[in-house]
Chains A and B, each alone.
Chain A
Amino acid sequence: MINKVVNNIEEALQGVESNMTFMVGGFGLSGIPENAIEALSKKDIFGLTCISNNAGVDDFGLGLLLKRKQIKKMISSYVGENAEFERQMLSGELDVDLIPQGSLAERCRAGGAGIPAFFTPAGFGTEVAEGKEVREYNGKPHILESALTADFAFVKAWKGDTAGNLIFKGTARNFNPLMAMAGKITVAEVEELVEAGELDPNQIHTPGIFVQRIFQGDKYEKRIEQRTVRTKE
């Protein structure tokens, strides 16, 4: 067993520097690495490129890094929940590359799987296709999308073991397993860290080979963006 456990958040973030590229897991606020983001927002690192499906909200998630203007470029599919983000983007302070969600997921997966590029129909004929090679397969045009990798990938899982194996819960899985594969250094934070051997190998979602560092997060707020309920009849 190769032990991946780090003792604290400082050790987990060792080596992060200005101008690096980070992947950050999560969809909306679900499954975001809350502890890593908070710690990054307190470091004096700037000029970051962040690959993340969304950009948090004004005062939580990646919104914390945006507020301190630590991010120079965002690569995302949907950023509609963050007013500060929209302001920085429309004013030109923030460089934004919006890409279709399926292409974003597959580009991360490809990056981790050693596939440098692939053709997809998504985005053909739109702004997204500008400057990209087009090829027809089965009579339908497809555009060439390249793989994504990152200096660090920050992911969050429900449970993990000391070997770095991860299990996710609910829809908090989303981009986390894909980004875990694509990080040069993948830092996984978990709600519950157990000894190797305690997780059933049949149930593991992300094999520990993709994870370089693992720690149990101090606390999880798990904020809900759109609390939507029905009433009992």
Chain B
Amino acid sequence: MALDKNQIAQRIAQELQHKTYVNLGIGIPTLVANYIPQGIDIEFQSENGVLGMGPFPFNGEEDPDLINAGKQTITTLPGAVLFDSATSFAMIRGKHVQLTVLGAMEVSENGDIANWKIPGKMVKGMGGAMDLVASADNIIVAMMHTNRQGESKILKRCTLPITGVNCVKKIVTNLSVLEVTENGFKLLERAPGVSLEEIKTATEADLIIEGEIPEMKL
């Protein structure tokens, strides 16, 4: 069974390291906050100016002056801090944020990522994504393996305008966990019940497959 979006988030949460600062992008990455493993202390940064972001507010307790980068209402946890956008990106550019999780339209085998523009069709802008991918030491992409047309998003080369070069370290999709190595995509794990053939068929890029590929544990 291919994973659903919550399960992708659940698998990514296993990558969280104790006592680190993490920036979660819009969409599937936001869900990662729901699956922090026991005993792991994390502070979430949102680039619009908050560190120590908490869960969504209870109904009736929403504050228009407290939102995340996806413009959703949020709360803050004890120890939280608020700041301006330049300070926020100083944290990001200055590598004080250890992990960035974000969505993508395409990833190429050298770690390029495209997620901000479809020429002539959709131009929403890059937001903070270009700053994040240019500086974070660890970047994990959360996305579906194929697009709505069923085409692979795991490519030899990106076809869309890129957001950053040579930056993605790991990808968790509904079908697999992939590592970006110097020699290309290395298949690390399969979604439960998903065969190697299914993954190969859904992937345009070449895959490095060494030995038995284990199933993800959720």
Contact = CB atoms under 8 A, between A and B. Distances in A.
Contacts of B116: 98
Interface stretch (B122-130, B141-149, B203-211): B122-130
B93 interface: yes
B73 A173 contact: no
B71 interface: yes
A53 B161 CA distance: 21
B84 to A, nearest CB: 5
A229 interface: yes
A78 interface: yes
Interface string B70-97: 1111100000001111101100110000
Contacts of A104: 85
Contact of A226 (B58, B63, B73, B93): B73
A86 B120 CA distance: 10
Contact of A98 (B67, B125, B134): B125
Contacts, number: 183
Interface in A88-104: 89-90, 96, 98, 100-104
Interface in B87-110: 88-89, 92-93
Contacts of B47: 101-102
B58 A89 contact: no
Nearest to B124: A80
Given A122-B134, A173-B84, A177-B84, A127 B128 contact: no
B165 A102 contact: no
25 contacts: A30-B67, A30-B71, A76-B125, A77-B125, A79-B123, A86-B122, A98-B116, A101-B47, A102-B128, A120-B93, A121-B134, A122-B131, A123-B130, A126-B165, A169-B65, A171-B68, A171-B82, A173-B83, A205-B84, A222-B65, A225-B71, A227-B62, A229-B60, A230-B56, A231-B58
Contacts of A208: none
